[in-house]
Structure 1
């Protein structure tokens, strides 16, 4: 094996062998053992299972572990790890590692070898993927329709495009703990504040540490409590804050805020947009819809529309959207544009598959499990709004609790976080005493105190404490914002 033998074209393949290049794998490993800095050029995207030769994958993984831990990875250090490796014995023993280092190409060319190894691995996965899709189409399961096969194929193809494999293998602990360190580092760099995406409300962020990738967040409340308004405020804040940096491979990495997909199954896209314009301009959404505005306000609205038109907020207002289609659209957006957060308004309007039949609890369970799987697959927070049962209205204490969730078993079980929106003023307003009485004066005083306040109750949180935070609510603008310590609205 000589340096001149390393070639950027695949080696001749034995009959029916999938695409591979053993010489490129040897070259990459030799360069890595010779200069450990090579790992930092390829480690983010080149994984052990991208190597065709299993022995080469094991050598790469062992070297990676040492380098990540700050230790030296060379032939001498790795020798003791591989003395009893059956694959190493087949190639002549641990002396093979020394041969790799001795015949190593220039470290500067290692990136090219890494990209060739990755490209060939993707080709092998595409061949495997094509065979599986062909088999599924030719011999489908009894309950699988063509649409089911298509959605399954799209899901697997997305996984291949994003992660370099059609299925996720077991992850070594050292990689998982390294990700944990990155999360802690992100929070530390923000001054101990957030490790997730900011919701735009400091009081909520302080309790939750932001909105975390892979989390399913249920936002629930009775009608007119403001759950859609809060979800819209969060989505708008995240999209407005979006910033990204260009990466060496040409992709963009989100550094603040995010790209948001908002599935509005009840409200049309123009109604949702009107809410956002009211939020941004401070002009009542009711006045905008009724056209009861003056020329100056119209100019403010027109200017506001131009200023926010370019934010990365994507709205889908398809009614009765099947969960499979919702997931497919999210994967497509992630692949083509990018995606950092998903909002579904609301959970009970998403339809399940035909297999759930008319069993409503089973259908909701299928939807919540799918949304949780989507959050993990795309590594984004998914906020799903949910209705509460009418039993809230039968209690003297109207504050919601987990048992009030409709079809609560599956929702509560699958959710990482459950938030409730509660406005005491909504109920007090309906208890107005007769005007002119002492009771009415007391009622007016209490209404003044709580009219523009709301509670966001954290009923469940896997990663932190439960509790309640008070926020300001402007019903004219359907806008939630922070309260300062004196209880006044924070106008930052």
Structure 2
């Protein structure tokens, strides 16, 4: 035997290596489950049938789990009818094997330890599969797959394995999907404001959208000067400020309220973005901060505001012209290292596609970017707010409120987005039309301008799971800050 081993490999490293498994641990856990069904609930939150190495054990676990969930008894007698009667395990029948499992069962106390051992070995087998695929693809690389694409694919598969314990995607039973939906409704019922998603901090917008929903691609668009970057930074700050971590059973943290923000700022540097947020929160105009034109009171405001801002989980990446592959890789890394609940991208048209083919055609490139962003939102299970420009045709109309057809390279953006929001401020257009003072037109213009001054509209032009319509917000231009609009009917009585 040793001679044969030396011929094909070495005595220490035989040519054939069995995938990591522990049949005894699987038998012990199944035995415990068949003796006392409570053992199932000790492992049901992390262990699936697919984690078992032995195919018969998978089947036994699957059948037992189904019976226990239905409130029925799972023991060697009740489950044998659901298993192939003519199958042999060595020289035993399946019925005899089930009886042996139960007879040699471990105590329920050990069930979780055995379950964890089975899960860990299944993860190691999945890692081996990913590793083998990486090696094989690297050796026989297809013509159309560049090394960077292979890295991106491997990173995605490893991320899925780290997050969910499996990387294959594959089908999910409807029972699991229903359970997830009910859990989401229950979490919304318990959360402040009864929102199923992450609150933006703008009450009327949250009511319409139910907050920012996980796995949604939200497009926020507007013409230059409308304040789309301001609205995005306002929402990002509100979410980060409201962050409350909640420790899970496995030691990881999940957001109870608010969330961790990943802000990809392709247009402004991190310093410019920070100046904007400080200006909004300290109520000191950003032009004054830049010029250093500050009073002592202003400076005190800035210092106290900065101390508060240093504690919030807002991470900024200001790489210009980032590609969709780089953005995905960095978002995955942030989620693994610090957590990630909302991604903001400012803005789509400054991003690049990854494939050479797409970069020759701008519409194709934007299609690749929006499809990639939607896939990333689903993979990380976080909302992505992506800002977008609008085409100039808006300016040629009398009513300058944007429509879906105004989105630049619109087809794919409109199609892939779950929600499309437009920011519109009548005040911006009105102030450019000021007639000469003292004329009748001026008086008419002044009255109209007073009505729209300090107000902004967020038009929900598309929403997959809610109503469309318009939300009115207050806008303070000097601090570039959006906030809830106080309705006239809700204001205290005024005495002239």
Normalized against structure 2, the TM-score is what?
Answer: 0.91
- Summarize deviations over 1:292-336 as a string: whole Å, max 9, x none: 211121111011101111211110000000110000000111111
Using the alignment, how far apart are the partners of 1:147 and 1:124 within structure 2?
25
Using the alignment, how far apart are the partners of 1:54 and 1:87 within structure 2?
13
For structure 1, the residue ranges without an aligned partner over 5 or more in a row are 1-12
Which residue matches 1:386? 388
Which residue matches 2:8? none
Residue correspondence of structure 1 range 325-336 to structure 2 within 5 A:
325-336=326-337
- Summarize deviations over 1:126-174 as a string: whole Å, max 9, x none: 1111111111211112132222222221111111111112221211111
Which residue matches 2:7? none
- Greater mean alpha carbon deviation, residues 73-82 or residues 125-134: 73-82
- Do the aligned residues in 2 keep the contact of 1:65 with 1:174 (CA within 8 Å)? no
From 440, 447, 450, the counterpart of 2:449: 447
- Do the aligned residues in 2 keep the contact of 1:193 with 1:206 (CA within 8 Å)? no
- Summarize deviations over 1:81-137 as a string: whole Å, max 9, x none: 325696889962344334333322111111111111111111111111111111121
- Summarize deviations over 1:9-51 as a string: whole Å, max 9, x none: xxxx994321111111122222233333333332222222111
Which residue matches 1:399? 401
Q: 1:24 to 1:454 in 2, by over 3 A?
A: same
- Greater mean alpha carbon deviation, residues 40-49 or residues 94-103: 94-103
From 416, 434, 459, the counterpart of 1:432: 434
Using the alignment, how far apart are the partners of 1:429 and 1:199 within structure 2?
29
Using the alignment, how far apart are the partners of 1:169 and 1:90 within structure 2?
35
Using the alignment, how far apart are the partners of 1:121 and 1:223 within structure 2?
52
- Greater mean alpha carbon deviation, residues 60-69 or residues 249-258: 60-69
- Do the aligned residues in 1 keep the contact of 2:87 with 2:93 (CA within 8 Å)? no
Using the alignment, how far apart are the partners of 1:39 and 1:54 within structure 2?
18
The Cα of 1:191 is off from its aligned counterpart by 7.1
Which residue matches 1:304? 305
Which residue matches 1:272? 273
Which residue matches 1:28? 29
SS at 2:316 equivalent:
strand
- Do the aligned residues in 2 keep the contact of 1:88 with 1:94 (CA within 8 Å)? no
- Do the aligned residues in 2 keep the contact of 1:82 with 1:88 (CA within 8 Å)? no
| 1:231 equivalent in alignment to 2:203 | no
Using the alignment, how far apart are the partners of 1:199 and 1:68 within structure 2?
38
- Do the aligned residues in 1 keep the contact of 2:346 with 2:387 (CA within 8 Å)? yes
Normalized against structure 1, the TM-score is what?
Answer: 0.92
Which residue matches 1:112? 113
- Greater mean alpha carbon deviation, residues 426-435 or residues 41-50: 41-50
The Cα of 1:258 is off from its aligned counterpart by 0.8
- Do the aligned residues in 2 keep the contact of 1:264 with 1:344 (CA within 8 Å)? yes
The Cα of 1:386 is off from its aligned counterpart by 0.6
From 459, 463, 475, the counterpart of 1:461: 463
Using the alignment, how far apart are the partners of 1:206 and 1:461 within structure 2?
13
The Cα of 1:471 is off from its aligned counterpart by 0.8
Using the alignment, how far apart are the partners of 1:266 and 1:360 within structure 2?
19
Using the alignment, how far apart are the partners of 1:121 and 1:153 within structure 2?
18
Which residue matches 1:92? 93
The Cα of 1:76 is off from its aligned counterpart by 4.0
- Summarize deviations over 1:419-463 as a string: whole Å, max 9, x none: 111111111111111111122122222222211111111111111
Aligned length: 478
Which residue matches 1:143? 144
Which residue matches 2:207? 206
Q: 1:307 to 1:319 in 2, by over 3 A?
A: same
Q: 1:141 to 1:445 in 2, by over 3 A?
A: same
- Do the aligned residues in 2 keep the contact of 1:217 with 1:383 (CA within 8 Å)? yes
Which residue matches 2:4? none
Residue correspondence of structure 1 range 476-487 to structure 2 within 5 A:
476-486=478-488
- Do the aligned residues in 1 keep the contact of 2:283 with 2:479 (CA within 8 Å)? yes
Residue correspondence of structure 1 range 251-262 to structure 2 within 5 A:
251-262=252-263
Which residue matches 1:165? 166
RMSD: 2.2
Q: 1:434 to 1:37 in 2, by over 3 A?
A: farther
SS at 1:210 equivalent:
coil
- Do the aligned residues in 1 keep the contact of 2:214 with 2:377 (CA within 8 Å)? yes
Using the alignment, how far apart are the partners of 2:225 and 2:490 within structure 1?
23
| 1:343 equivalent in alignment to 2:344 | yes
The Cα of 1:488 is off from its aligned counterpart by 7.8
Using the alignment, how far apart are the partners of 1:296 and 1:65 within structure 2?
67
